[in-house]
Amino acid sequence: MRILVVEDDRSLREAVVDGLRDAGFAIDAVESGEQAVQRLGADAYDMMILDLGLPGVDGLDLLRAIRPRELLPVLVLTARGSVEDRVTGLDAGADDYLAKPFAFVELLARVRALLRRGDTMVPTVLRVADLELDPVRFAVHRGDAVISLTVKEFAILEYLMRHAGELVTRTTLLESCWDASYDGMSNLIDVHLSRLRRKLDRPGLPTLLHTVRGAGVILDEPPR
């Protein structure tokens, strides 16, 4: 999942970015409304975390401006914590509201809840054949076997399971699981896919992650 953080306070922005990256999300961060508009026009995001007290374009004005064309969930962060302020933010198009100061664990819980809400047709626990992924508990099983994954491997697998049976290109994985700082010319994606395949494969069980040469990868149940 790829998230855009819009926050002008450098220390808070860096803390939020570091925490979300540690939780497995791909994060881009900007410090102004103008930069946010540029990012939204250039890249696809699954969610935006937006501070209201921005220099230049106010966060509320930014939210009102983008809402007609951007349907992504928006979590507002702000020091404006009154009931009237919260109502104004929600009426402007915010999906959730978190007043500063806040605990990061609450921010993370709200982020996950909004992302789940954004795709109500996808169950909380994802299953493909005997493979099961629980994004809330950060747990993966194949049958009775526990599979230990890195944060990035988990993010890749979650994306593939949400698109099971579909061809997923490396470009799509790059845009969904890495932020803008990643050098797309490296073979890091192939390295992660190779390690993930080795962890998913089990003796006597069919392979679930398949490479389509020159096109991408497919995670799917074996043909019956």
pLDDT tens-digit map of 78-108: 887 667 777 777 788 888 888 888 899 999 9
Average pLDDT, the chain: 85
Domain with CATH 3.40.50.2300 in the chain: 2-117
CA distance 223 to 171: 27
pLDDT of residue 182: 60
The answer to whether residue 205 scores a pLDDT higher than 60 is: yes
Q: Provide the CATH number for the domain formed by 2-117 in this structure.
A: 3.40.50.2300
Residue 101: asked if its preceding bond is cis (omega within 30°), the reply is yes
Domain with CATH 1.10.10.10 in the chain: 126-219
| pTM of the predicted structure, to 2 decimals | 0.62
The answer to whether residue 49 scores a pLDDT higher than 90 is: yes
pLDDT of residue 183: 57
Look at domain 126-219 and name its CATH class: mainly alpha
Question: What's the whole-number mean pLDDT along residues 50-72?
Answer: 85
